[in-house]
């Protein structure tokens, strides 16, 4: 059995936002996955598969300097159908590009403030990403059930 995380005080600010985003996405019927690597050198905060099969990426930004120091976010666009920013209520959202979605989040939930435009992935890229998301998610669940199993893989 997996222990429930009710104390969020040990989470980093971005992880607190990702937790709320994950709750929102689950409530919308999505299958979210935190900290996913779509290609070497890139790590998205949350990737999610919608009930319609769309791939969403949500980048969590906890403060102005977190956004200003991020030079990789445009590299995420080729790996999703919709791209969103997630911030808390104190973040200066006017800094964020207006042609992306916006989610207001805290550790306990989130609200979709602005939908992201749909830019459909090529079918081959979608298929490859869906396989990788499934593989990573399944391995994470297996590791929760048996942490030592992956030591056997060598």
Domains of the chain, CATH where assigned:
13-147 (3.40.1350)
Residue 33 has a pLDDT of 98
How far are the Cα atoms of 3, 92, 104 from residue 143, in angstroms, in the given order?
14, 38, 31
Cα three-residue angle 77-84-53, rounded to 5 degrees: 75
Residue 9 has a pLDDT of 72
The pTM of the full predicted model, rounded to 2 decimals, is: 0.90
Residue 150 has a pLDDT of 81
Q: Are 97 and 74 in contact (CB under 8 A)?
A: no
Residue 69 has a pLDDT of 84
Residue 12 has a pLDDT of 83
Residue 117 has a pLDDT of 97
Residue 37 has a pLDDT of 97
In the predicted model, residues of the chain with pLDDT beneath 50 are 1-4
Q: Are 28 and 50 in contact (CB under 8 A)?
A: yes
Tally of CA atoms within 13 A in the half-sphere of 19 that contains its CB = 16
């Amino acid at each position: 059995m997996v222990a429930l995380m009710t104390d969020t005080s040990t989470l980093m600010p971005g992880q607190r936002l990702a937790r709320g985003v994950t709750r929102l996405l689950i409530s919308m019927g999505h299958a979210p996955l935190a900290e996913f690597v779509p290609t070497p050198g890139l790590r998205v905060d949350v990737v999610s598969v919608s009930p319609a099969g769309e791939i969403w990426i949500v980048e969590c930004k906890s403060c102005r300097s977190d956004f200003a120091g991020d030079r990789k976010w445009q590299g995420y666009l080729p790996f999703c159908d919709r791209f969103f920013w997630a911030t808390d209520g104190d973040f200066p959202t006017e800094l964020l590009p207006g042609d992306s979605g916006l989610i207001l989040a805290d550790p306990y939930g989130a609200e979709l403030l602005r939908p992201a435009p749909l830019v459909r992935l090529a079918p081959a890229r979608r298929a490859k990403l869906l396989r990788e998301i499934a593989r990573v998610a399944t391995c994470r669940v297996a590791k929760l059930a048996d942490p030592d199993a992956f030591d056997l893989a060598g």
